[in-house]
Amino acid sequence: MPGPAAAGDTGVDPLDAAQERRVRAVLALGGVPQSDLPDGVQQVRLRLLERAASGREAPRDVSAWAAVVASNLAMDWHRAKRRQERLGERLASLRQLEHPSGEDSSVLSLAVTRGLDELPDAQRQVVVLRFYADLPVRDIAGELGIPEGTVKSRLHSAVRALRARLHEDEVV
């Protein structure tokens, strides 16, 4: 069986079957769930292709290099999971805040809560952090590890969707 082609070749997989099995094993042993293993393997392939595209020579031992990259990806996965769990806990604690009294505010609060539940996770996250936790855009971007422009874009889309939902429900 021939070895892997040079990473710069188009249409050829930079990892052979044995290397892919090793990458999957390293990811799985690193605690990455089965459902995320294909993405992890693709990330290793991408990094190998990016390395070749940047003009650097292929690693001397592609299998060992791929295993190290897979190990690093597993650590990154755990860090991201912990960060999401912390944010989830913060969001949950914010949702438990008491609703203001009065029928009008209860109806509005219920409509906003429903609207928030319908938003994609990324949009709901920035709305809650911005308007409930009162964090500035800069801090949200830093906490989530995304550009400020992305935070602003998500906020804009989320507010537009919430506004439409409130008009649809004839709350405002």
Distance of alpha carbon 53 from alpha carbon 77, whole angstroms: 25
E strand residue ranges, the chain: none
pLDDT tens digits, one per residue of 1-44:
444 444 444 567 788 888 899 889 888 888 888 999 999 999 99
As a whole-number percent, the residues of the chain with pLDDT over 90 amount to: 16
Residues in CB range of 26: below 8 A, 6 or more apart: 67, 70, 71, 74
Residue 23: other Cβ atoms inside 10 A: 25
Residue with tokens 């400020």: 148
CA-CA distance, 32 to 15, in Å (whole number)? 20
Contacts of 18 (CB under 8 A, 6+ apart): 63
At 136, is the pLDDT very low, low, confident or very high (cuts 50, 70, 90)? confident
Smallest CA-to-CA distance from 133 within 165, 87, 164, 102 is with 87
Closest CA to 70 of 106, 36, 113: 36
In 28-133, at which residue ranges do the beta strands (DSSP E only) sit? none
Query: Over the chain, what is the mean pLDDT?
Result: 79
